Structure 1
Amino acid sequence: MPRHEVTVSSASLKRKGDHSIAATLLDISIYGCRIEADAVFKEGERVTVTVDEYAPMKATLVWQKTKQAGCRFADALDTEVLRRLTLAS
């Protein structure tokens, strides 16, 4: 699925047992996203991605480089949520 470039600075990531980390959503598709955060992540790490008022999304980090990381959602993102996020950016 194609990725849509966005800039949503109201995103956050949460690791198991950790506090939320402020993040910026850089691109998104129904299967995953690319985020930027002031943190170091490990490939395979499970996180929860939250964007605005939308329901938190469980994800696995599939790559990490500098302050950016790619996440694969555990469940496909609702297409209406994807539409709203891409239109809002």
Structure 2
Amino acid sequence: MAIEIANYFDVGIEELLDGERKMDMIEKKQEETLLKVADYGNNERIAFSKRLRHLQRTSAISFYHRRPFLFSITYCLSILLKDTAGIHYLV
């Protein structure tokens, strides 16, 4: 999103983040690298969300079918994953 804003105002990412306009513009190669980094982060977040949803579904199904051991393991794993990812939640 920051790259799109920078392109719209015809400024570099560094200029946008610093809040001042400089004469040196960001090179295309650097822009492509930043886009790749952003895409990689988004893909990692999506994959993590899918794994977490799968654990939560398994936990719910095991609770429904009265499998307390499986429920407790999957529930604890989902909480641990949320803690390591820095996701805030209410229990």
Verify same fold: TM over 0.5.
no
Larger strand proportion, structure 1 or 2?
1
With the length of structure 2 as denominator, give the TM-score of the two structures.
0.26
Larger helix proportion, structure 1 or 2?
2
Higher-Rg structure is 2
